[in-house]
Amino acid sequence: MRPRTAPPRALAGAAALALAATACSGGGETADEAAGTLVIWADPERTDVLAPFAEEFGQANGVQVDVQSLPVDDIQGDFVTAHEAGSGPDILVGAHDWIGNLVQNGSIDPVQLPGDAQERFDPGAIDAVTYQGRLYGVPYAMESLMLLRNTELAPDAPATMEELVETGTALKDDGDVEEALGVQVSQTGDPFHLQPLYTSAGGYLFGTDDEGDPDPSDLGVGTPESVEAMEKIAELGEEGEGVLKRSIDSDNVGSLFERGQTPYFITGPWSLAAVKDAEVDYAISPVPGFEGMNEARPFLGAQSFFVASGGENKVLAEEFIVNNVAQPELATALYEADPRPPALVEVFEAAEADDPDLAAMMEAAEDAEPMPVIPEMSAIWDPFGKAQAAVIGGEDPEQAVASAEKAISEQIG
């Protein structure tokens, strides 16, 4: 078709839309929240749990508390934008790996826990929220990848990846299952879910600097170790064992396990509710590493409370976080709403007796390393994921890793 007449407005409109889509909205001046109202931003799952505690805190202190619910995908970006416009909340609830970006935008302040309060938390969780030597949030729950297995199909926890592949493939060959392992890869790759395998095979993402933070000048992608690790992963890929597949993605991986079509499922605590609903007999164990290689080290995530630096009621926000989040009652309620290992040791110990999954999840998190909080981490996901997808699809690991390294280095600058 040849264009004959062009509606100029439609074209100009499309151009302006393209521009508007990428341009940020101007620093709109929003009316300030009334002083004395403590505003908390959390995702919808937490708001219901938080509301009664916020209410109680408000009544005890004679202040208004407003818990606002934001979509989990938008909350970090909205928070930074709102901070810039001077209309953000006083407290933010979110994942610890946001810290690097929040700090570089000056939108959160360090937290000072009194006395020995830090010692009451799991050291891994405290490590996760510590950045540049400062504590930037108070953690309440932890999460890491683990291996779920269908105990009817695979009664024993595999000690190595090789064992897992053997059992899974045997079941597949017998026609009992469709896939040997459920781990989401997708066409664009998934470095988060492949991290246990990548680390076990000797790969790393960033080295460590003097403060214990990941060091962006020591990029692990592109090193010989990373190429070797990807070669190891390629052995499990579509041209190898056929255990890792790009056709398995976040949308279908859960139902594969829930319908008994795969004996193993590498996932986090967030999938447990659906698995329980499907009435699959399952057990939790750590993600196994390759035989004779390193332990598998999944990422450790810590859900945390942050104090907004631009909040109107910073003192009240600090009070809420120090005297509520660091106390067992709120942490217990949050655990009951969403069973992930609590960061407060006493809450974990109290819950452990009634919930066998909890101890298993904690064991799975034993070797986990906090997800890097540095802003440079955000440059990893996309290019490295695509390199992983290409390798799993059967392309040359050396070339894929090298071009991912190039793309990441360009982003980090």
Partner 1 sequence: MVRNDDGAGAPAKAPAPLPGARLAPRGGTAGHLVKAALLALSAGIAVWAALPLIAAGNWFGLAAVATVTAVVFRVYLSERHVPAKYLLPGVLLLIAFQVVPVLYTVGTSVTNYGDGHRGTKEQAIAQIEAASVAESEGGQDYVLTLAARGDAATGELVFLLTGEGDRVLAGDEEGLEPLPGARTGPTGKVTEAGGLTLLTAAEAGERSEEISQLAVPAGEGAGIRASGLSAAYEGRATRVYDEGCDCITDSTTGEVYTADDERGAFVGEDGDRLSQGWRVGVGADNYARVASDAGIASSFLSILGWNVVFAAGTTLGVFVLGLAVALAMHTTRPLRGRTAYRLLLVLPYAMPAFAMMLLWRDMFNADFGLINRMLGLDVDWLGGTGTARAAALTINIWLGFPYMFLIATGALQAIPRELVQAARIDGAGAWQAFRNVTLPLLMVAMAPVLIATFAFNFNNFNAIWLTTEGGPFPADSPMAGATDLLITYTYRLAFGGQSAQYGYAAAISVFIFLIVTLISYVSLRRSAALEEVNR
Which residues in the 301-320 window bind partner 1 by CB under 8 A? 309, 311-316, 318-320
Q: In the bound complex, what is the minimum distance in angstroms from residue 403's beta carbon to partner 1?
A: 5
Of the two residues 310 and 342, which places its CB atom closer to partner 1 in the complex? Answer: 310
Q: In the bound complex, what is the minimum distance in angstroms from residue 12's beta carbon to partner 1?
A: 6
* Range in contact with partner 1 (rule: CB under 8 A) among 56-64, 139-147, 267-275, 357-365: 56-64
Q: In the bound complex, what is the minimum distance in angstroms from residue 99's beta carbon to partner 1?
A: 11
**Count of residues near partner 1 by CB under 8 A:** 97
Which position among 71, 115, 175, 292 is part of the footprint of partner 1 (CB under 8 A)?
115
Cα 386 to Cα 79: distance, rounded to the nearest angstrom: 29
Q: In the bound complex, what is the minimum distance in angstroms from residue 301's beta carbon to partner 1?
A: 16
* Range in contact with partner 1 (rule: CB under 8 A) among 9-17, 277-285, 294-302, 352-360: 9-17
Of the two residues 340 and 386, which places its CB atom closer to partner 1 in the complex? Answer: 386
Question: Contact between 395 and partner 1 (CB under 8 A)?
Answer: yes
Beta partners for residue 266, in sequence order: 147
Question: Contact between 321 and partner 1 (CB under 8 A)?
Answer: yes
Q: In the bound complex, what is the minimum distance in angstroms from residue 26's beta carbon to partner 1?
A: 6
Residue 294 exposed, middle or buried by CB count within 10 Å (0-12, 13-18, 19+): middle
Which residues in the 229-248 window bind partner 1 by CB under 8 A? 245-248
Which residues in the 140-199 window bind partner 1 by CB under 8 A? 179, 187-188
Q: In the bound complex, what is the minimum distance in angstroms from residue 174's beta carbon to partner 1?
A: 18
Question: Contact between 343 and partner 1 (CB under 8 A)?
Answer: no
Question: Contact between 228 and partner 1 (CB under 8 A)?
Answer: no
Of the two residues 50 and 248, which places its CB atom closer to partner 1 in the complex? Answer: 248
Which residues in the 10-49 window bind partner 1 by CB under 8 A? 10-24, 26, 29, 31, 35-36, 38
Q: In the bound complex, what is the minimum distance in angstroms from residue 329's beta carbon to partner 1?
A: 17
Cα 252 to Cα 112: distance, rounded to the nearest angstrom: 43
Question: Contact between 373 and partner 1 (CB under 8 A)?
Answer: no
Q: Give the list of residues 6+ apart from residue 217 with CB closer than 8 angstroms, or none.
A: none
Which position among 47, 87, 132, 294 is part of the footprint of partner 1 (CB under 8 A)?
132
Which residues in the 90-109 window bind partner 1 by CB under 8 A? 100-101, 103-106, 109
Of the two residues 228 and 381, which places its CB atom closer to partner 1 in the complex? Answer: 381
Of the two residues 3 and 292, which places its CB atom closer to partner 1 in the complex? Answer: 3
Q: In the bound complex, what is the minimum distance in angstroms from residue 339's beta carbon to partner 1?
A: 28
